[in-house]
Structure 1
Amino acid sequence: MRTVPDTVARITRLKSGKAEPAQPRNRLFALTNFGSNPGALKAKCYLPKSLAKKPALVVVLHGCTQIPADYDAGSGWSKMADEHGFALLYPQQVRDNNGNLCFNWFLSDDIGRDKGEALSIRQMIGTMVSRHKLASERVYVTGLSAGGAMANVLLATYPDVFAGGAIIAGLPYGTASTVSGAFERMRGHGIPKSRELRAGLRAASPHTGPWPTLSVWYGTGDSTVAEANARAIVEQWRGVHDVASAPAVTDTVDGQTRKVWRDADGRDRIALYSIHDMGHGLPLNVASGYGKSGPYMLDVGISSTVHIAQSWGLTRKPASGRRRKAAAKPISARVMPADRSSPRDDKIRKAIDYALRATGLKR
Structure 2
Amino acid sequence: MTLPTKKTTPPTKQSRAATLLTVLAALLSVLLTPAPAAAASLQEVTGFGSNPGALKMYRYVPDGLPADRPVVVALHGCTQNAPGYATGTGWTQLADRWGFSVVLPQQQSANNPSHCFNWFQTGDIARGQGEAASIAQMVDRQLADVAGDASRVYVTGLSAGGAMTAVMMAAYPEKFAAGGVVAGLPYGCAQAAGSPYVCMYVGATQSPAQWGERVRAARPGYTGPWPTLTVLHGTADYTVKPVNMTDLVEQWTNVHGADQAADISDTVAGYPHQVFRGPGGNAVVETYSVTGMGHGQPVDPGTASTQCGTAGAYFLDVNLCAAHRLGTAWGLG
Shorter-chain TM-score bucket reads 0.7 to 0.9
- Checking the alignment, whether the CA contact within 8 Å between 1:281 and 1:298 is kept in structure 2 is yes
Gaps spanning 5+ residues in structure 2: where?
1-37
Question: 1:52 Cα shift?
Answer: 4.6
Aligned mate of 1:216, from 231, 254, 259: 231
Aligned mate of 1:242, from 257, 269, 275: 257
Could you tell me how far apart the structure 1 residues matched to 2:203 and 2:308 are? 35
Question: 1:67 Cα shift?
Answer: 0.5
Could you tell me how far apart the structure 1 residues matched to 2:163 and 2:318 are? 22
Secondary structure at the residue paired with 1:176?
helix
Question: 1:246 Cα shift?
Answer: 0.5
Structure number with larger C-alpha Rg: 2
- Checking the alignment, whether the CA contact within 8 Å between 2:193 and 2:199 is kept in structure 1 is no
Could you tell me how far apart the structure 2 residues matched to 1:146 and 1:186 are? 10
Identity %: 43
User: Are 2:255 and 1:256 equivalent residues in the alignment?
Assistant: no
Question: 1:180 Cα shift?
Answer: 7.7
- Give the AA of the match of 1:43: M
- Checking the alignment, whether the CA contact within 8 Å between 1:50 and 1:85 is kept in structure 2 is no
Q: What corresponds to 2:289 in structure 1?
A: 274
Could you tell me how far apart the structure 1 residues matched to 2:226 and 2:254 are? 11
Could you tell me how far apart the structure 2 residues matched to 1:230 and 1:98 are? 25
1:97-144, CA deviations, whole angstroms, 9 ceiling, x for partnerless residues? Answer: 000000000101100000000000000100110121111111000000
User: Are 2:106 and 1:92 equivalent residues in the alignment?
Assistant: yes
| Higher alpha-carbon deviation: 168-177 or 37-46 | 168-177
Q: What corresponds to 1:351 in structure 2?
A: none
Question: 1:53 Cα shift?
Answer: 5.2
- Checking the alignment, whether the CA contact within 8 Å between 1:113 and 1:157 is kept in structure 2 is yes
CA-based RMSD of the aligned residues comes to 1.9
Secondary structure at the residue paired with 1:160?
helix
Return closer, same or farther for 1:53/1:130 CA change in 2, 3 Å cut-off.
closer
- Give the AA of the match of 2:259: A
- Checking the alignment, whether the CA contact within 8 Å between 2:257 and 2:278 is kept in structure 1 is yes
Q: What corresponds to 1:29 in structure 2?
A: 43
Could you tell me how far apart the structure 1 residues matched to 2:101 and 2:180 are? 17
Aligned mate of 2:325, from 307, 311, 331: 307
Gaps spanning 5+ residues in structure 1: where?
1-23, 316-363
User: Are 2:140 and 1:126 equivalent residues in the alignment?
Assistant: yes
Give 1:137-152 correspondences, 5 Å limit: 137-152=151-166
1:314-346, CA deviations, whole angstroms, 9 ceiling, x for partnerless residues? Answer: 11xxxxxxxxxxxxxxxxxxxxxxxxxxxxxxx
- Checking the alignment, whether the CA contact within 8 Å between 2:208 and 2:254 is kept in structure 1 is no
Give 1:6-155 correspondences, 5 Å limit: 27-52=41-66, 54-155=68-169
User: Are 2:250 and 1:228 equivalent residues in the alignment?
Assistant: no
Could you tell me how far apart the structure 2 residues matched to 1:34 and 1:264 are? 39
Could you tell me how far apart the structure 1 residues matched to 2:298 and 2:285 are? 18
User: Are 2:288 and 1:297 equivalent residues in the alignment?
Assistant: no
- Give the AA of the match of 1:64: C
Could you tell me how far apart the structure 2 residues matched to 1:195 and 1:246 are? 15
Could you tell me how far apart the structure 2 residues matched to 1:308 and 1:229 are? 19
- Checking the alignment, whether the CA contact within 8 Å between 2:193 and 2:204 is kept in structure 1 is no
Question: 1:241 Cα shift?
Answer: 1.2
| Higher alpha-carbon deviation: 57-66 or 174-183 | 174-183
Q: What corresponds to 1:162 in structure 2?
A: 176
Q: What corresponds to 1:320 in structure 2?
A: none
Return closer, same or farther for 1:234/1:221 CA change in 2, 3 Å cut-off.
same
1:169-228, CA deviations, whole angstroms, 9 ceiling, x for partnerless residues? Answer: 000111214998101100024343322211111100032111111101100000100011
User: Are 2:218 and 1:204 equivalent residues in the alignment?
Assistant: yes
- Checking the alignment, whether the CA contact within 8 Å between 2:89 and 2:315 is kept in structure 1 is yes
- Checking the alignment, whether the CA contact within 8 Å between 1:52 and 1:84 is kept in structure 2 is no
Could you tell me how far apart the structure 2 residues matched to 1:132 and 1:259 are? 35
Could you tell me how far apart the structure 1 residues matched to 2:286 and 2:120 are? 24
Secondary structure at the residue paired with 1:30?
strand
Could you tell me how far apart the structure 2 residues matched to 1:122 and 1:179 are? 26
Could you tell me how far apart the structure 1 residues matched to 2:42 and 2:184 are? 24
Aligned residues: 292
- The normalised TM-score by structure 2 is 0.84
